[in-house]
Amino acid sequence: MRRYQLTVNNNEYEIDIEEISATEFQVQIDGQAVDVTLTSQADAADAIITPQIETAPSRAVADPSIAAAQPVTRAPKVPAAMRSETPRTPSPAVAGGQDLAYSMSAPMPGVILEINVAPGDQVNKGDVVMVLEAMKMKNDLHADRTGTVESIDVKSGEQVKYGQVLLRFVKD
Amino acid sequence: MNDTVTPEQSSADHLTTLRHMREKAVQGGGAARIEAQHAKGKMTARERLSILMDEGSFQELGALATHNVTDFGMADKRFPGDGVITGFGRINGRRVAVYAQDFTVLGGSFSQVQAQKINKIQDLALESGIPIVGLNDSGGARVQEGVRSLAAYGEVFQRNVAASGVIPQISLIMGPCAGGAVYSPALTDFTVMVDQTSNMFLTGPEIVASVTGEQVTAEELGGAAVHAGRSGVAQFEARSEIQALELTKLLLSYLPSNTSEDAPILVSDDSPDRMAESLNTIVPQDDRQAYDMRKVLDEIFDTDSILEVHEAFAPNAIVAFARLDGRPVGIVANQPLVMSGVLDIDSSDKISRFIRICDVYSIPVITFVDCPGYLPGVEQEYNGVIRHGAKIIYAYCQATVPKISVVTRKAIGGSYVALSSKQMGSDVAYAWPSAQIAVMGPDGAARLLHGRAIKTAEDPAKAEADFVAEYREKFFNPYRAADLGQIDEVIEPRETRPRLVRALEVLQTKIATSVPKKHGLFPV
């Protein structure tokens, strides 16, 4: 628990904040309990970076029990926003390929089992566009960009080589 | 110069002069340039540092340094600091050295004075044993300085290499980074790129167009998506500058300040004894069906503690930092969901690099194995999958940190040996009951061992099926390996977390000695 003693417009408040989970807090303002949910938090570029030393205002600890209540160093949480939920499929670059940024190639040799899109279709990054059977397993191939399909360069049932171009996107 | 102080001036004047000069340093390239920087969706160097550093902790060095070049009208273009802010301060209470190039000053162009300032802070970081973070945003070498600015790159590289493996070095790319400038980030431990506003390439789109005729934009050639995905040059791709800075703080929390210290152990809310019941059923009965290894890892490690490195590069393998009961660990895992979890050239690079980083910073490595083997193919062999695959073996054998392995399903052939096998120095080797530890798959084994018998049998299909069934029953399980001591213990999947916590607790004082040598010959 953290205790803040603050003065706003000459009114003194004592606020106790207890962390229940990363986003939920039990807050007591002068003994009155309220539930608080944190929806987002982000730093803003406000501290001034100058050649001058900027000292933080000294924190006078009036009540020693507050110092004792200082939380120990907690492990930071990895925010969900930093983890991509989009599945990825590698798209190896092959010699002589043109517009590599707008094409998908076979990540390994195998047989194309399914083709889920047709030229002209709009696909989103992460969509399963084809299924490739290789190494005795079915592998979903995910679009590596959002865009419109220009051409499908393979047929269902076709044996493909490593790095063979599978489909092309319309270049924007 | 107007700023010269004469002896007649009082001490009050001295202070006024200093404060005036400092004020000028804070303004960087001036209001118009700062506005142009903001218009591109980028922050200024000082704004970035204010987010990165703990409030009030930053101390600048070299704020008043300027260049001495007079060619091409440079005499009039003097800005205090010369386009880079250097100094030290704290991130989450821990000491770090930083430098941040300021694009508003002469395009952040790299000069001799910039290099001298960066070199000083590199030396300070290395000697004090603290991490160094570089914020790169520069148009390239300062052409007006001629060959002097080129020589300056060499000075930075030399220090990058001297510090490599001693202190963590993190590079953030927050703008253009072209030509020689790309090699300093490449020599550091981690490179973070910002989506849409940063790019890295040795030769830019114009040169590519004139040499190969291929028309590409800077983003298509060297944007964050390219380097985080296809090339693997960047370990992290951030959606915004703020996210890149937050990620840097987070990454530092898993690392020690230098190679002779241990990474901080922080308090975790997650119980070390927590059982994960869902793991008992996560591996599908059908061999041909994949499952998401990330879900397995999420269940085992401290809640929300997994930070994937190289997330989009070679996604058939997963490498990540995480915490186990608050203690930082490195994870290496196959991802059966992508390319069946095979090992290939790119995943070998990804895994071996990560193991070496964990080893040098004393972070235990926990390996999760579900790998059908190496990717077969002419291209892979021609491109040297042997010498690339050797890197994984070298890195595991060389690593002296605690090594624990968990075989979740397939550990077949060379991949069984390469991925942290007992014989290659794994301290504790666990296997789930679903493990299949064998030299080769049953179909291949049937043809190899009983090919003739199957062919001459009355019903070849039945003979083959019988043999496959026998092989599966005998060899496609963890018990043969456990019998021989190649697996220390077969465990219930739900017990994995408490088992790992206990094993790590014992291994935290592990000591391994090796013969002194100049350096090994890592198969690059």
Q: What is the pLDDT of residue A96?
A: 54
With cut-offs at 50, 70 and 90, classify the pLDDT of residue B187. Answer: very high
Of A45, A78, A134, Cβ closest to residue B305: A78
Residues B399-404, mean pLDDT to the nearest whole number: 96
pLDDT digits (tens, 9 = 90+) for B277-300: 999 999 998 888 889 999 999 999
Tokens of B230: 């296809």
DSSP bridge partners of B97: B88, B132
Report chain B residues whose CB lies below 8 A from the CB of A135. 339-340, 342, 372-373, 375
Fold match between domain B11-253 and domain B277-439+476-507: yes
Q: Under an 8 A CB cutoff, do A81 and B243 touch?
A: yes
Residue among B367, B420, B368 at smallest CA distance from B393: B420
In one-letter notation, the amino acid at residue B401 is: V
B63–chain A Cβ distance below 8 A for any pair: yes
Q: Under an 8 A CB cutoff, do A109 and B376 touch?
A: yes
Q: What is the pLDDT of residue B1?
A: 47
Which of A46, A55, A82 should we substitute to test contact with B (largest number of B Cβ atoms within 10 Å)?
A82
Helix (H, G, I), strand (E, B) or coil at B384: coil
pLDDT digits (tens, 9 = 90+) for B384-393: 999 999 999 9
Q: Please tell me the distance from the alpha carbon of residue B479 to that of residue A101, in angstroms, as a whole number.
A: 47
With cut-offs at 50, 70 and 90, classify the pLDDT of residue A71. Answer: very low
Q: Please tell me the distance from the alpha carbon of residue A33 to that of residue A14, in angstroms, as a whole number.
A: 12
Residues B307-322, mean pLDDT to the nearest whole number: 95
DSSP bridge partners of B431: B407, B490
Chain A nearest C-alpha distance from B147 (Å): 30
Domains of chain A: 2-80 (no CATH), 100-169 (2.40.50.100)
Report chain A residues whose CB lies below 8 A from the CB of B229. 88, 90, 144
Report chain B residues whose CB lies below 8 A from the CB of A146. none
Q: Under an 8 A CB cutoff, do A82 and B377 touch?
A: no
B169-173 and A147-152: which strand pairing? unpaired
Residues 363-402 of B with CB under 8 A from A: 372-373, 375-380
Q: Under an 8 A CB cutoff, do B377 and A49 touch?
A: no
Q: Under an 8 A CB cutoff, do B339 and A134 touch?
A: yes
Q: What is the pLDDT of residue A76?
A: 87
Q: What is the pLDDT of residue B269?
A: 86
3-state secondary structure B62-73: CCCCCCCCCHHH
Which residue does chain B place closest to A19, by CA atoms? Answer: B269
pLDDT digits (tens, 9 = 90+) for A112-160: 999 999 999 999 988 999 999 988 888 889 998 889 999 999 999 999 9
With cut-offs at 50, 70 and 90, classify the pLDDT of residue A70. Answer: very low
Report chain A residues whose CB lies below 8 A from the CB of B329. none
Can you count the helices (H) and strands (E) in chain A? 1, 12
Chain A nearest C-alpha distance from B25 (Å): 8
For chain B, what are the domain ranges?
11-253, 277-439+476-507, 442-475
Q: Where are the alpha helices (DSSP H) in B325-435?
A: 345-360, 378-382, 385-398, 414-418
In one-letter notation, the amino acid at residue B1 is: M
Nearest-10 crossing angle of helices B293-300, B496-507: 60
According to CATH, what is the number of the domain B11-253? Answer: 3.90.226.10
Q: Under an 8 A CB cutoff, do A89 and B302 touch?
A: no
What's the Rg (C-alpha) of chain A?
Answer: 28
pLDDT digits (tens, 9 = 90+) for A18-56: 887 777 888 888 888 888 888 777 667 777 788 877 665
Query: Which of A82-86, A121-125, B509-513 shows the lowest per-residue confidence on average (mean pLDDT)?
Result: A82-86
What ipTM was assigned to the predicted interfaces of this complex?
0.75
Residues 21-60 of B with CB under 8 A from A: 22, 25-26, 43, 46-51, 53, 55-56, 58-60
Which of A49, A132, A139, A162 should we substitute to test contact with B (largest number of B Cβ atoms within 10 Å)?
A49
Residues A84-96, mean pLDDT to the nearest whole number: 74
Of A76, A108, A161, Cβ closest to residue B342: A108
Q: What is the pLDDT of residue A68?
A: 47
Which of A130, A137, A138, A140 should we substitute to test contact with B (largest number of B Cβ atoms within 10 Å)?
A137
Q: Please tell me the distance from the alpha carbon of residue B227 to that of residue B236, in angstroms, as a whole number.
A: 9
Report chain A residues whose CB lies below 8 A from the CB of B379. 92, 94, 161-163
Residue among B158, A155, B271 at smallest CA distance from A167: A155
Residues B118-138, mean pLDDT to the nearest whole number: 96
Residues 87-126 of B with CB under 8 A from A: 92-93
pLDDT digits (tens, 9 = 90+) for B82-120: 899 999 999 999 999 999 999 999 888 899 999 999 999
Report chain A residues whose CB lies below 8 A from the CB of B63. 51
Report chain B residues whose CB lies below 8 A from the CB of A165. none
Which of A78, A102, A104, A136 should we substitute to test contact with B (largest number of B Cβ atoms within 10 Å)?
A78
Residue A61, judged by CB atoms within 10 A of its CB (0-12, 13-18, 19+), counts as exposed
Q: Please tell me the distance from the alpha carbon of residue B263 to that of residue B188, in angstroms, as a whole number.
A: 19
Q: What is the pLDDT of residue A82?
A: 82
According to CATH, what is the number of the domain B277-439+476-507? Answer: 3.90.226.10
Q: Please answer whether residues B59 and B87 qualify as being in contact, where contact means their C-beta atoms are separated by less than 8 angstroms.
A: yes
